[in-house]
Amino acid sequence: MRPLSQGANPYSDINCVEAIRLVGENLEKAVADLLRLRQENEHARIEVQDTGYGIPKDAQENLFQEFYRVRTQETASIKGTGLGLSLVKAVITAHQGRVWVESEEGK
């Protein structure tokens, strides 16, 4: 096999269909550990588990405000606008739903 600088394709021996299947299976397993959907009476409940740093109690009440970012030493280098959760809340509320957070700092 030639080095990449000489135009070699390191993936030329991989069957693309098989590669896509494996990625899909692994992604499904990863998402299954972090996302749960279940029916509660007439409602759907979607739970999303995050593997981040945990959110301090005093910051949790502000999480769904536009442009709010939790700033800690651990999260200082993480980029973002602080809009994601405010958009989630807007969509969920528009569908007569509710959204909340359960988190423990450091976990």
What is residue 40's predicted lDDT score, i.e. its pLDDT? 84
Instruction: Tell me the pLDDT band of 68, cut-offs 50, 70 and 90.
Output: very high
What is residue 45's predicted lDDT score, i.e. its pLDDT? 84
Structure-token pair, residue 35: 């996302």
What is residue 4's predicted lDDT score, i.e. its pLDDT? 46
What is residue 1's predicted lDDT score, i.e. its pLDDT? 43
What is residue 46's predicted lDDT score, i.e. its pLDDT? 82
pLDDT digits (tens, 9 = 90+) for 9-66: 555 555 666 666 666 666 666 666 677 878 888 888 888 887 778 888 999 999 999 9
* Partner residues linked to 39 by β-bridges: 44
CA distances from 41 to 30, 35, 38 (A): 28, 19, 10
C-alpha to C-alpha distance for 93 and 96, rounded to whole angstroms: 5
What is residue 31's predicted lDDT score, i.e. its pLDDT? 63
Which long-range CB contacts under 8 A does 99-104 form with residues at least 24 apart?
Answer: 99/64, 101/55, 101/60, 101/63, 103/50, 103/54, 103/55, 103/60, 104/54
